[in-house]
Amino acid sequence: METLAQQSGDVEALVAVKARDLSSAYTFLQIAEIYRDGKQHDKALDWAERGFKAFPDRTDSRLCEFLADEYHCRKRHDEAMQLIWKIFTERTSLESYQTLNKHADRIRQWPAWRGKALEFIRVEIEDEKKQLAQKRQSWGWTPHTPDHSLLVQIFLWEKDVESAWREAQAGGCHGSWWMELARLREKQFPADVVPIYQKQVDTLINQKNNGSYAEAVKLLGKIRDLMTRLERADQFASYLATIRATHKPKRNFIKLAVRL
């Protein structure tokens, strides 16, 4: 039925088919998009608003953004930003931060919204730390420790490497972001990144497979070059000897490490 309605080009017929099942916010979005594509923007707005009212809690972010776009077109910018802020606070991530940026830039209000967003993230991190501290007292352990990974991601996206580095130093971050920071800083600040690479070498070796051994040896070569630049070649020799001694039972790794 939907295919036939699409082929006929009859907007109302297609909407009638879609409207048979309104059990999700996404269906309302699809109908709103049909009307928008048919240049019937008032009906598009109406269906988007109906969808939002039907599913107000953690609704489909695509529906919120569609509705925000319609509000922007009508110069109802405050309502648009409230919806985009809702997306951000319910699903705080780099992607929702980027969405907030896009809409705030549209009305030239990004600095204010950016400050509000960063403050929200910091408060969330502190709240999570407090909650986990309470759980630790009750359980004696917690599954993870909150860190500043999201702030690091955001600053890297904004190409502010120094701010990202400060956040990582202050609150820690996921290993992949430490490696990205090291890559970006190794040319100018080799002494800062050597410990990061050394930690990654341990992680790779302990994965105990030939692929990770090869990556570890490659990274050891990079550490050697950095320490040579720092006039610490003797320290690298001592470090490498310790690595070989510690992991002597891992014969496949030792075979690769002999090349260094």
Res. 18 pLDDT band, cuts 50 70 90: confident
**Which pTM was predicted?**
0.86
Token pair 């879609």 in the structure block, residue: 18
Q: Residues 92, 93, 94, 96: what is their CA dihedral angle, to the nearest 10 degrees?
A: -50
For residue 143, the model assigns a pLDDT of 61
> Is residue 108 included in any domain, yes or no?
no
Neighbours of 24 (CB within 10 A): 15
Residue 94 domain flag:
no
Nearest by Cα to 116 from 76, 84, 147: 84
* pLDDT at res. 113: 98
Each residue of 201-228: pLDDT tens digit? 999 999 999 999 999 999 999 999 999 9
Q: CB under 8 Å to 171, separation ≥6 — which residues?
A: 125, 146, 147, 148, 151
In a domain, 120, yes or no: no
Does 252 reside within a domain? Answer: yes
Give, for 10, the enclosing helix (H) or strand (E).
none
- Note the pLDDT of residue 173: 95
Report if residue 219 sits inside a domain. yes
CA dist., res. 128 & res. 58, Å (int): 20
Domain holding 243, by residue range, is 186-260
In a domain, 121, yes or no: no
Query: Is the pLDDT at 71 greater than 60, yes or no?
Result: yes
Q: CA–CA separation, 31 vs 197, rounded Å?
A: 52
Please state the domain count of the chain. Answer: 1
pLDDT at 4: 56
Rg of the chain taking only CA atoms, in angstroms: 26
The string of pLDDT tens digits covering residues 21-51 is 999 999 999 999 999 998 999 999 999 999 9
SS3 of the chain: helix, strand, coil, percent, to 5 = 75, 0, 25
Q: What percent of the chain has pLDDT over 90?
A: 81
> Residue 194 — φ and ψ, nearest 5°?
-55, -50
* φ, ψ (nearest 5 deg) of residue 215: -65, -40
- Opening angle at CA 202, ends 196 and 203, nearest 5: 90
Confidence of residue 14 (pLDDT cuts 50, 70, 90): confident
Average pLDDT over residues 118-127: 96
pLDDT for residue 146 is more than 60? yes
Rounded mean pLDDT, 118-131: 93
- Is 131's pLDDT higher than 80? yes
pLDDT tens per residue across span 83-103: 999 999 999 999 999 999 999
